[in-house]
């Protein structure tokens, strides 16, 4: 799978004292169909591509599987030198350490294993490698949650071995109502996917 040219820019967190505990309710299937339609109407260049983000619960507490799938239009794929169907799978661990803010720690599957065979129902945390340098700090309240990775080079260094897959590693996440906004990398630049939960 080629994800080249389609690596991580983050903004520093701003924490509020005594803020209510954020609600980590991300499970669902999200699509950015409205964003794609708007991009075509306004002739954005490069045009936003169709992205589906599927977040599945596992049988292990505070562990989720994230599947980030992008359908790339043939002419865009030709320009980028990529496939027309791209996907990356991540395990996300919600860390709830006493006295510390909530965090989301991403994990990548061990290279010897096939992402296509990964199932949430048979999740095995020993098959995953931590990307702790890319940990996202969580803030917000009951109606809105934001998670950000630190704006430094440590995450970039930690993910260099992942190749183009690292373009699909979320560096910023916002959940508000049925909307999930996730920052990926698209044509070498940070791009925020605006995805709506499927009913």
Reported as a single tens digit per residue, the pLDDT across 66-95 is 999 999 999 999 988 899 999 999 999 999
User: What's residue 131's pLDDT?
Assistant: 97
Q: In whole angstroms, what separates CA 128 from the centre of its chain?
A: 16
Which tens digits make up the pLDDT trace of 9-27?
333 444 444 555 565 779 9
For residue 129, the cross-strand partners are 108
3 φψ region: left (φ > 0), alpha (ψ -120 to 50), beta (else): alpha
Tell me, yes or no, whether 64 lies in a domain: yes
Tell me, yes or no, whether 65 lies in a domain: yes
Pull the structure tokens for residue 160.
Answer: 């260099």
Tell me, yes or no, whether 132 lies in a domain: yes
Tell me, yes or no, whether 173 lies in a domain: yes
For residue 105, the cross-strand partners are 93
**C-beta separation of 83 from 165 below 8 A:** no
Tell me, yes or no, whether 120 lies in a domain: yes
**C-beta separation of 156 from 7 below 8 A:** yes
Tell me, yes or no, whether 6 lies in a domain: no
**C-beta separation of 170 from 146 below 8 A:** no
Owning domain of residue 36: 28-197
Tell me, yes or no, whether 131 lies in a domain: yes
Tell me, yes or no, whether 5 lies in a domain: no
Sign of CA dihedral 104, 86, 50, 75: positive
How many independent structural domains does the chain possess? 1
Q: 137: buried, middle or exposed (CB in 10 Å: 19+, 13-18, 0-12)?
A: middle
Stretches in the chain below the pLDDT threshold 50 = 1-2, 4-17
């Amino acid at each position: 799978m080629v994800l080249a040219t389609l690596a991580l820019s983050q903004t520093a967190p701003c924490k509020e004292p005594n803020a209510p505990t954020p609600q980590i309710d991300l499970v669902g299937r999200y699509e950015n169909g409205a964003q794609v339609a708007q991009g075509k109407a306004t002739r954005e260049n490069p045009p936003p591509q169709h992205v589906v983000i599927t977040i599945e619960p596992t049988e292990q507490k505070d562990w989720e599987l994230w599947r980030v799938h992008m359908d790339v239009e043939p002419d865009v794929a030709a320009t980028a030198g990529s496939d027309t169907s791209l996907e990356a799978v991540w395990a996300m661990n919600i860390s709830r350490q006493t006295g510390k803010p909530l965090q989301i720690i991403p994990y990548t599957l061990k290279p010897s294993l096939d992402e296509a065979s990964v199932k949430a129902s048979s999740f095995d945390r020993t098959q995953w490698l931590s990307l702790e340098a890319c940990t996202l700090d969580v803030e917000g309240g009951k109606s809105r949650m934001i998670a950000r990775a630190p704006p430094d080079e440590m995450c970039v260094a930690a993910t260099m071995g992942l190749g183009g897959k690292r373009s699909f590693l979320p560096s910023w996440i916002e959940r508000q109502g049925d909307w999930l906004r996730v920052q990926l990398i698209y044509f070498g630049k940070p791009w925020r996917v605006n995805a709506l939960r499927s009913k």
